[in-house]
Amino acid sequence: MKKVLAIAVLSCFVLLSLSTRTDADDMELLIGLIPEQNIFKQIERYKPLAAYLSERTGIRVRLTILSRYGDIIDRFVQRGLDGAFFGDLTGALAIEKLDIEPLVRPVNMNGSTYSYGYIIVRKDSGIRSVADMKGKVLAFVDRATVTGYLFPLSYFRSHGVANLEGYFSEYYFTGSHDSSVYAVLDGRADIGCIKNTIFNNLVSRDPTIKEEIRIIAKSPLMPESTLCLRRDLPEGIKKMIKEVLLTMDRDREGRRILAKLHAQRFIEASVEDFKPVYEMLKTLGEDIETYQYRVR
Amino acid sequence: MVLLSLLAGTVHAATKDKIVAGVVFSGDLPFYREIHEELVRELLEKGYDKRVRFIIQRPNPDALAWSNAIRKMIAYDASLIIVYGSGAARAALYESSSVPIIYAAVYEPERSGITGKNIRGVGYKVPVSSIIRYLRKTGEIKRIGVLYSDSEPSTRTQYMDVKNVCKNLSIDVVKIPIKRPREIGQRLRLMSYDSLLLTSSALINKYFPDYILVFRKKPVPLATIIKGLEEYSVITLSTDPRKQGAVLARNLIKFINNGEIGSIENTALLKNSLTFNMRLAIDLGLDIPVELLTESDRVIK
Amino acid sequence: MRKKITQYLLTIFLLFALSGGIAITALSQVTKDLNSLITLHKVEIIRQNLVINLQTVQTNLYTIGTSFGPDLDVIVDNVNSLDKAITSCTGCHHSAALTKKLTRLKKFTEKYKEALSAFITTTANPERVKRLQMATAEIGEMLLQSTREMAFITNQKLKEKSATALREVERIKWILLASLLGIMLTGCIIAVNLTSEILKPIRELSDAAREVASGNLGYTIDTSDTTEFGHLARVFNEMSLSLKESHERSMKYMMRLSGLYRLTLSFHMVTNEQDIIRELVFGVAEIIKAEKVLVFLYNKEKDRYFSAFPAYGFTDGDIENWSYEPSFINSIYLKSNKRSMIIHPEDRMAKQLLFRATGVRNLAVIWLKQKGVLTGFLLSINKEGEGFTEEDIRLLSIIANNFSVAMDNAQLYRDLHTQMQKLKDTQEQLVQAAKLAAIGELAANIAHEINNPLTSVLGYAELMREEEDIESIMRDLEIIESESLRARDIVQQLLEFSRKWPLKIGKVDVNRLLKDVMDLVSINIKNSGIDITTDFSDLPEINADANQLKQVFLNLINNAIQAMPEGGTLSLRTAKVDNSVIIEVSDTGTGIPDNVAQKIFEPFFTTKRDKGTGLGLPISYRIIKKHGGKIEVKSRVERGTTFRVILPVRMSSLQISP
């Protein structure tokens, strides 16, 4: 009896070790993900996509999380990435600073292919316009986002606020979009900014939030989660990947994976998509080459 | 502008006589002490410390004691009365003397009836909805008990705010009015609730620790609106007493300079700070919402 | 025989198949156990990995001066596989302690993931990053702690499962052994069966002989066998049958006697005449084996003999209105020398007697007498076989005597029953009186009634001390006053109830007294929609306490008014019966349900929740009792209630004081 047990346990070990063996010699692509609120859930969402790509193209696709928004450009080079899903500003910066090209971007479940930013206040704060914001506390998200920093900055500037320090009694960076909303809700800040998708997500979980918040302004449309690949990858590989992604909504398995990413399908992306970002940087008088996105 | 008037103040400072300001606390709370310390510090910094003499009263938190303290101030011929908290503020208002009143740390003064020709000051607002939102993230909440005091009108306003927020959330609000300290223990024992909110009442905040053993027999998540009880409270969302003190100092300087109570504008501070007692939450077996970890200005471990 | 052998072989085969099945099921069970063991080991390995991963992540967290590099992917993988391990665990363990631990672990993992994510993704605000780092580390520590605790439980489980698996293997060994033994045993049984198949006819014959010897006469062997065995069996059967016949004849006499005994017994077990008659006719029909049996009884009032129900062999319609003149029956009675007899169906007498019956073959007439007087007769018609014998007549005469006695008894029993009912009614009145004497219970009620207002008074008095404004004090005082008044009312009523009223006896005109009472209440009735009717008879003056009687009638009339909130009719009636005066107070009100009617004279029972004290009727009851009278209540729900007071004109000098 003990022998049987031993054999069973042993065979189980063998099976386990077999399944973890890697095929090192095959072609492999390393794709980066910009971290979202919960990176663990994020990687679980993206893993089926990687598997799907591997299966359809025969190229092993591996995912890696890129820590902290701002480090992305450096990390891309350091880690030898082949591509990444970029956000609005990170995408624009990457296109400018790295030799990459946009490949595809998703269409959201509601059919939109863009996101945009809000500037928000508490409804009972009495703030209705920029004029009412004098001497108040402002909470940005992060310097490396359009919706959480560049847009509000350009909005205040176009409404005559030349110098943040002189106009607001205090401003700070919350570090995440939803934090900005909570700061406003709790009265830890008077004015906040947030990306519409994250705001909608919060509201769907807690509808009372919407009743307490007033939206003061809405930003222009910004591209979202664009997959960019290194320009020097073999043309055939890029084409194959693009083909698979653009047509994956035609089979059931593909649609299931897309649904996990909250997307209907992928559409072709281009540098043009990032035009609103460049424009915004321009109105702020920032040079894309030298823009300091790191807070600190 | 502000700078200019401050400069003008310092010029006058040395020349004018001292004024007598009666200070009445709604109760002997660290929260009010902190406001007063900040007031004194600011006056010193701006060079006005020699212009004011303070007579301080920290009466027991009840209506009779507040009235007595106010009357003493009037009898002493104080130039103005400074009150902390809505209990003392209402008592001062009820005396309806001609002595001007400046208040600080009154929650929603207008809605709580702390208004008048002769009274100005700095209030605050804490969004009760946020407290409820965080409480709900720590676990399911069906009956929230709200401890308030009828003789402190702001605390009643807070109760009304809780009721209003909970109306749409299918949370029952259990009204727990407190008149005397020992009622805190009695009510905590008798009422049924699954969470508690302490309003800013001086009476309740001062005496709650005396009944902590009663509370620990039926431990539930507790939230507070003013600082001071973080040890017992899972969530504290409070206005900053230092900022209250700073605005109060500004108002007082204005009064010293022109003797006109009407020249002071009523203001309300909306900025709050959030404290999360994670250790207590774990002891109570509550859910630890990551929002409280990320949003809190202070996490107690 | 060959067929039988094939069947036996098939049975053995099936048994083999069955035991094979058992073995396979048992083996698969063992395999399952082993599988779960393997899973457990796997989980333990995952757990160990998890601890290592967690420690790595924690170290990373603490030393994070720089930032997460490629380690981040490893951390994510580790934490995700930790999550999976825990999820897979929740699926297989069932011990409550472990499940709780796992749920806790899962919860903490979720928190850890969230906190870690927040820490990693927060880009600005160094102060907050630091705070998140600390909080995350804290949760990580707790997670490690829980994981270590779990290791202990897992090991325990592992040991347990191994032991279970070993036990299972042992068990299967036994099952296999048992099924082998089972097959051997079945083989033996089959061999034994085959042998007995051959020996069967011989054993059957010897068994049958033994059967007859033991008294089962007429026992035959069922056989169609043509062998010697068959012949022997047939001879045996003939012998057995002839033995049976002679035995049966002697049994017949026994049967009659026992029938008679049975019938007599049943006569005395029923008490109702009709049942006795049924027992008679059916018993006679059974014992004598007659087709029809019919009884005629003399009806004193109508002076005729009428057929009695039921009859055997007749329908009820057949015998309805079948009667004879007494003179006719008497003539037959005398002609028969007052003795029961057999009559030939062609006889003139028989034809007269049986003018309603047809197809009569034979007939017996049995006279029924009580104390020597003819009370009826029994006709027994068409006995099975040769007809009636003298022996039958003797038997029937005995039965007839028994019948008469039973009828006599039934009459006596009925009279006794009536007497008993009367006695019971009287007892009920007595019980009522005894109840009222049960002061013990009363005391408890009193205490309770008075305690309520007192508690309120005390409570409000205490409250007053703490009140600050005069308004609240006045309000409290008001409540204290009203509660005290309530208490005083109860006490006063009680005094009234418990007082040993000395009766002030004088001459009382009851009609006059009722009119006085009506004057008192007439104000209350005005505009209430109640009509009053009075029906007063001339009454003698009675000896009574006028004031106390007034109280009784006031009480009864008030109750009547309160029972008619929608209006109705209040009737007062007086009458003199024998040596008593009767006063009735009726209403057309709501009435009293039966269950309530039994209690209305008990102290503190009230249906008027807020108004009544529950003492009105008990007091009335006592007053009337003292007067040597009675008070009765008759009520129908939704029809109304009548209280009837019966007072003696002259009070007996012996009054038991309650």
> Looking at chain C, which residue has its C-alpha nearest residue B300?
C135
Distances (CA, A) of B201 to B27, B130, B185: 9, 19, 16
| pLDDT, mean over chain C | 78
Contact between C135 and B299 using a beta-carbon 8 Å cutoff: yes
Return the half-sphere exposure (C-beta side, CA atoms, 13 A cut-off) of residue A56: 20
Q: Domain A27-113+223-283 in CATH: superfamily?
A: Periplasmic binding protein-like II (3.40.190.10)
Pairwise CA distance, residues C658 & C651, whole Å: 16
Whether B265 contacts chain A with CB within 8 A: no
Taking the CB of residue C514, how many other CB atoms lie within 10 A of it?
21
Measured between CB atoms, which of C107, C135, C142 is closest to B293?
C135
Residue pair C80/A40 in contact by the 8 Å Cβ criterion: yes
Cβ pairs A/B, distance under 8 A: 52
Interface confidence: ipTM more than 0.90: no
Predicted local distance difference test score (pLDDT) of residue C212 = 77
Which helix (H) or strand (E) segment holds residue B186: the answer is helix B181-190
Residue pair B191/B143 in contact by the 8 Å Cβ criterion: no
B3 against A49, higher pLDDT: A49
Whether B150 contacts chain C with CB within 8 A: no
Q: Is the dihedral of CA B62, B68, B73, B74 positive or negative?
A: positive
Residue pair B82/B248 in contact by the 8 Å Cβ criterion: yes
- Bond preceding residue A223 cis, omega within 30 of 0: no
Predicted local distance difference test score (pLDDT) of residue C85 = 66
Q: Domain B2-125+239-271 in CATH: superfamily?
A: Response regulator (3.40.50.2300)
Tell me the residues of A at the B interface, defined by beta carbons under 8 Å apart. Answer: 122, 124-125, 137, 175-176, 178-179, 182-183, 185-190, 206, 208-209, 212
> What letters, b where the CB count within 10 A reaches 16 and e where it falls short, cover C562-575?
bbbeeebebbbbbe
| Contacts A179 to B, Cβ<8 Å | 294-295
Chains that touch B (3 or more CB pairs under 8 A): A, C
**A187: amino acid identity, one letter:** G
Residue pair C365/C336 in contact by the 8 Å Cβ criterion: yes
- Substitution target in C53, C121, C132 with the highest count of A β-carbons within 10 Å is C121
Taking the CB of residue A22, how many other CB atoms lie within 10 A of it?
8
The yes-or-no verdict on residue C497 having pLDDT over 80 is: no
Residue pair A194/A210 in contact by the 8 Å Cβ criterion: no
- Furthest-apart CA atoms within chain B: distance in Å: 63
Pairwise CA distance, residues C244 & C362, whole Å: 30
Mean pLDDT of A213-223: 93
Distances (CA, A) of B153 to B25, B97, B160, B197: 15, 20, 11, 16
Return the half-sphere exposure (C-beta side, CA atoms, 13 A cut-off) of residue C240: 22
A53-92 per-position pLDDT tens digit? 999 998 999 888 876 645 677 778 887 889 999 888 888 8
Length of chain C counted residue by residue: 658
* CATH 1.10.287.130 for the C437-499 domain, yes or no: yes
- Substitution target in A176, A182, A205, A214 with the highest count of B β-carbons within 10 Å is A182
Measured between CB atoms, which of C34, C73, C123 is closest to A68?
C123
Distances (CA, A) of A265 to A52, A108, A202, A258: 14, 8, 24, 6
Pairwise CA distance, residues C48 & C36, whole Å: 18
In Å, how far from its chain's centre is CA A88?
A: 8
Architecture of domain C2-188: Up-down Bundle (1.20)
pLDDT-wise least confident of A2-16, B218-232, C48-62, C616-630: A2-16
Q: Is the dihedral of CA C413, C416, C422, C425 positive or negative?
A: negative
The alpha-carbon gap from B126 to the nearest alpha carbon of chain A, in Å, equals 7
Whether A142 contacts chain C with CB within 8 A: yes
Pairwise CA distance, residues A164 & C423, whole Å: 109
Contact between B272 and A186 using a beta-carbon 8 Å cutoff: yes
The domain limits of chain A are: 27-113+223-283, 117-219
Measured between CB atoms, which of A36, A43, A70 is closest to C80?
A43
The yes-or-no verdict on residue C524 having pLDDT over 60 is: yes
Which helix (H) or strand (E) segment holds residue A201: the answer is helix A196-205
Predicted local distance difference test score (pLDDT) of residue B89 = 95
Q: Among candidates C609, C606, C596, C603, which has minimal Cα distance to C636?
A: C596
pLDDT band at C185 (very low <50, low <70, confident <90, very high): confident
C 79-138 residues inside an 8 A Cβ radius of B? 107, 111, 114-115, 117-118, 122, 128, 131-132, 134-136, 138
| pLDDT, mean over chain A | 83
Q: What are the mean pLDDT values of chain B's consecutive 10-residue runs (301 residues total)? A: 42 60 94 95 93 93 93 91 95 88 95 92 94 92 94 94 91 92 90 93 94 88 94 94 94 91 90 92 87 87 81
Q: Is C436 exposed, middle or buried (0-12, 13-18, 19+ CB in 10 A)?
A: middle
Mean pLDDT of C408-434: 77
The domain limits of chain C are: 2-188, 268-415, 437-499, 501-658
Residue pair C82/C54 in contact by the 8 Å Cβ criterion: yes
DSSP B79: S
The yes-or-no verdict on residue C656 having pLDDT over 90 is: no
Residue pair C202/C224 in contact by the 8 Å Cβ criterion: no
A 9-68 residues inside an 8 A Cβ radius of C? 9, 12, 16, 35-41, 43-44, 63-65, 67-68
Taking the CB of residue C286, how many other CB atoms lie within 10 A of it?
15
For the domain covering C501-658, report its CATH number. 3.30.565.10
Same fold flag, B2-125+239-271 and B128-238+273-300: yes
Measured between CB atoms, which of B127, B133, B291 is closest to A122?
B127
The yes-or-no verdict on residue C9 having pLDDT over 60 is: yes
Contact between A9 and C38 using a beta-carbon 8 Å cutoff: yes
Segments in B76-126 forming alpha helices (H): 86-95
Pairwise CA distance, residues C463 & A17, whole Å: 80
A6-31 per-position pLDDT tens digit? 454 444 444 444 444 333 346 789 99
Helix (H, G, I), strand (E, B) or coil at A251: coil
Which helix (H) or strand (E) segment holds residue B83: the answer is strand B80-84
| Contacts B130 to A, Cβ<8 Å | 182, 185-187
Contact between B301 and C134 using a beta-carbon 8 Å cutoff: yes
Contacts of A67 (CB under 8 A, 6+ apart): A35, A75, C67, C68, C72, C120, C121
Predicted local distance difference test score (pLDDT) of residue A67 = 65
The domain limits of chain B are: 2-125+239-271, 128-238+273-300
Q: Domain B128-238+273-300 in CATH: superfamily?
A: Response regulator (3.40.50.2300)
Over pLDDT 90: what percentage of chain A? 38
Predicted local distance difference test score (pLDDT) of residue C52 = 76
Phi, psi of B56 (to 5 degrees): -110, 135
Cβ pairs A/C, distance under 8 A: 101
> Looking at chain C, which residue has its C-alpha nearest residue B138?
C111
C339-366 per-position pLDDT tens digit? 888 888 778 777 777 777 777 888 888 8
Pairwise CA distance, residues B255 & B119, whole Å: 12
Whether C74 contacts chain A with CB within 8 A: no
Pairwise CA distance, residues A185 & A202, whole Å: 12
Q: Domain A117-219 in CATH: superfamily?
A: Periplasmic binding protein-like II (3.40.190.10)
Residue pair A60/A54 in contact by the 8 Å Cβ criterion: yes
Phi-psi region of A125 (alpha: psi -120 to 50; beta: other; left: phi over 0): alpha
Pairwise CA distance, residues B253 & B264, whole Å: 10
Torsion of CA A96, A100, A106, A111, to 10 degrees: 40
Contact between A122 and B297 using a beta-carbon 8 Å cutoff: no
Contact between A212 and B127 using a beta-carbon 8 Å cutoff: yes
Whether B297 contacts chain A with CB within 8 A: yes
Contacts of B71 (CB under 8 A, 6+ apart): B95
The yes-or-no verdict on residue C474 having pLDDT over 90 is: no
Lookup result for tokens 């809190």: B296
DSSP for C338-367, please give it. T--EEE-TTSHHHHHHTTT--S---EEEEE
DSSP for C168-189, please give it. HHHHHHHHHHHHHHHHHHHHHH
Taking the CB of residue B265, how many other CB atoms lie within 10 A of it?
11
pLDDT band at C410 (very low <50, low <70, confident <90, very high): confident
The yes-or-no verdict on residue C437 having pLDDT over 60 is: no
Predicted local distance difference test score (pLDDT) of residue C219 = 78
**B164: amino acid identity, one letter:** N
Which helix (H) or strand (E) segment holds residue A228: the answer is strand A226-230
Q: Domain C268-415 in CATH: superfamily?
A: GAF domain (3.30.450.40)
Residue pair B132/B165 in contact by the 8 Å Cβ criterion: yes
Same fold flag, C2-188 and C268-415: no
